[in-house]
C-alpha cells in the first residue's frame, strides 16, 4: 500500500543528519532512524521500511527483520493509547496475564488488536524495568505499576474521559 506523505528527509532533515553523523557506518543508525520514523508517522509501513533502507544503505529485508524483532515498532497504525502489559516473570507471577485478559474483555479486542474506535491498542511486551512494582504496564510509554483489574478500570475511564 502506498502512502501520500512527505519523506523523512523532507520533514526531519536536521534530525536525520544529526543521527547519521553519530555513526561511522550509516547502517548502525538503523534503530534510531526507525524510531524517528515511528515518531513521525506513528507506525512503520512497508514504504517507510524501504525509505529507511535507502537512508541507512541496507536492504529492506534488514529493516523488516529489525522492525519485526523489536516490539517497540508498530506494523499497523496504533490506537490513541497503546497499552503494553508486561508478560515477563515478575509480572506474570503477580497476575500480568490476568490483566491482559481483563483488558481484552473490557475493550472487546484480543492482544495485538486496536479497538474499532481507534482509541486503544493492546499488546504484551517483555520486561519494562518495573519488576519491583509488578504487575506493570506502559501506556504511551508511561509506566503504571502495582496494577489490579480495578485500577485498570479506573485508568481506562480516565483515558476515555481525556479522549472526549
Closest CB 121 distance from ligand FES, rounded Å: 19
Q: In the chain, which ranges are E strands?
A: 81-86, 120-125, 137-139, 142-144
Q: Which is nearer to ligand FES, 58 or 128 (CB)?
A: 128
Give the footprint of ligand FES on residues 136-155 (CB under 6 A).
136
Among 11, 38, 90, 101, binds ligand FES (CB under 6 A): 90
CA dihedral for 102, 155, 42, 164, sign (positive or negative):
positive
Q: Which is nearer to ligand FES, 48 or 88 (CB)?
A: 88
Cell of 152: 485498570
How many angstroms separate the first and last alpha carbons of the chain? 31
Among 119, 131, 139, 159, binds ligand FES (CB under 6 A): 131
Residues 6+ apart with CB under 8 A from 83: 103, 120, 121, 122, 123, 137, 138, 139
Among 44, 63, 91, 147, binds ligand FES (CB under 6 A): 91
Among 34, 82, 83, 128, binds ligand FES (CB under 6 A): 128
Amino acid at each position: 500500500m502506498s502512502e501520500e506523505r512527505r519523506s523523512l528527509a523532507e520533514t526531519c532533515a536536521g534530525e536525520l543528519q544529526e543521527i547519521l553523523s553519530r555513526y561511522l557506518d550509516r547502517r548502525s543508525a538503523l534503530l534510531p532512524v526507525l524510531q524517528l520514523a515511528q515518531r513521525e508517522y506513528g507506525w512503520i509501513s512497508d514504504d517507510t521500511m524501504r525509505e529507511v533502507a535507502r537512508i541507512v544503505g541496507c536492504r529492506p529485508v534488514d529493516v523488516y527483520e529489525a522492525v519485526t524483532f523489536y516490539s517497540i515498532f508498530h506494523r499497523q497504525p496504533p490506537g490513541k493509547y497503546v497499552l503494553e502489559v508486561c508478560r515477563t516473570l515478575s509480572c506474570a507471577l503477580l497476575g500480568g496475564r490476568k490483566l491482559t485478559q481483563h483488558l481484552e474483555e473490557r475493550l472487546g479486542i484480543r492482544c495485538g488488536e486496536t479497538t474499532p474506535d481507534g482509541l486503544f491498542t493492546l499488546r504484551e511486551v517483555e520486561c519494562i524495568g518495573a519488576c519491583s512494582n509488578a504487575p506493570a504496564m506502559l501506556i504511551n510509554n508511561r509506566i503504571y505499576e502495582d496494577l489490579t483489574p480495578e485500577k485498570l478500570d479506573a485508568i481506562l475511564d480516565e483515558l476515555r474521559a481525556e479522549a472526549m
